[in-house]
Amino acid sequence: MKAQGPLKGVKVLEFVGLGPAPFCAMMLADMGADVVRIDRPGAHGGGAAEVLARGRRSISLNMKDAGDLTICRDLIAKAEILIEGFRPGVMERLGLGPDAAFALNPALVYGRMTGWGQTGPLAQAAGHDINYIALTGALDAIGTPDTPVPPLNLVGDFGGGAMYLAFGVLAGLLHARASGEGQVVDAAIVDGATSLMASQHQLAAMGLWHTRRGENLLDGGAPFYGVYRCSDDKHVSIGPLEPQFYALMLELLKIDPATMPASWTGDGWEAARARLAEIFLGRTRDEWCALLEGTDICFAPVLNYEESPLHPHMAERGVYTKIDGVRQAAPAPRFSRTPGAIQGAAPKPGADREAVLADWKVSG
């Protein structure tokens, strides 16, 4: 496919890694960037099932080989953005750290993806999404009153990590193009996930949030912001936070407003939640959809990942697409003039060496 999207022409060099760094590279590729992935010699894989690796080309380089190391440095000299997700110090030991890279390419935006960050007492410790969000307060705030529950790896790896790395390297690219000055982007999941907690810090400052799980406005404590089981053991979600939406919900559910709480303070929440739970148990999920979906009570059925693509709204918007029969999310966000596109399935490691060297004008 011919590259398309608002980042068409941007050269990105990605050192192969796991989780958030590849997801960031995937997003850049979806927006048209020419992302070249450096794989290890002998690596296997490729194909449509490797969704996080879609849309880029691959070259295999052995950093212990003088010739391959020279090629890598030449690629760095031609790149606008570099992405790596190793522990602090690994790239420096390879002779490819920021100082060496800026000597080759002063305008390079050097994106570093880690969990703990480049500095701090834990910088060299191993960890995963669950550990990083545990340190930020995010994990403690999510779950049942009895125990925190990991929210997949969305809050840390992808929300607090990949998204902030993408934001950072693109902000750095704007500065580099205007000034000719590159810089390091230290994207740490503990930083990003803490940033995502901004609204909770605001609510706490206003006296509307406390540390007890399941008793707050947005953590399942409020009866009017939660998930309820239906008679078929499926679930629906409601979120009528605004007074007019809440009033509409009570009207459609035939509940006397005088018998339900109308405040955000927590008064009467437990009894109201029990009453709504009893009401929603009275019908199937589909029956509730027929009555409530599309109204202003802020309602949606809780779908699994197989049901989601079949929902009329998701289908009409084309939220999902397929590559070689593998269903996956289409590029997001959407652009009116320069729409992004999936540039192809994940490459076989090393398959694009000659084409990459030719296009980037690097001798092999």
Residues classed as catalytic: 128, 157
How many Cβ atoms sit within 10 Å of the Cβ of residue 91?
20
Q: Does residue 327 sit in helix, strand or coil? A: strand
Residue type for position 94: L
Q: For every residue of 110-141, which 3-state class applies, written as one string?
A: EEEEECCCCCCCCCCCCCCHHHHHHHHCCCCC
Q: How far apart are CA 118 and CA 123, in angstroms?
A: 6
Q: What sign for the dihedral angle of Cα 7, 11, 17, 21?
A: negative
Q: How far apart are CA 58 and CA 126, in angstroms?
A: 27
Q: How far apart are CA 19 and CA 39, in angstroms?
A: 15
Q: How far apart are CA 286 and CA 104, in angstroms?
A: 60
Q: How far apart are CA 45 and CA 61, in angstroms?
A: 16
Check residue 9 and give left, alpha or beta (phi > 0: left; psi -120 to 50: alpha): left
Q: How far apart are CA 255 and CA 334, in angstroms?
A: 41
Q: How far apart are CA 250 and CA 243, in angstroms?
A: 11
Strand-pairing partners, residue 151, are none
Q: Contact at 8 Å (CB) between 160 and 195? A: yes
Cis peptide before 333 (omega within 30 of 0): yes
How many Cβ atoms sit within 10 Å of the Cβ of residue 297?
22
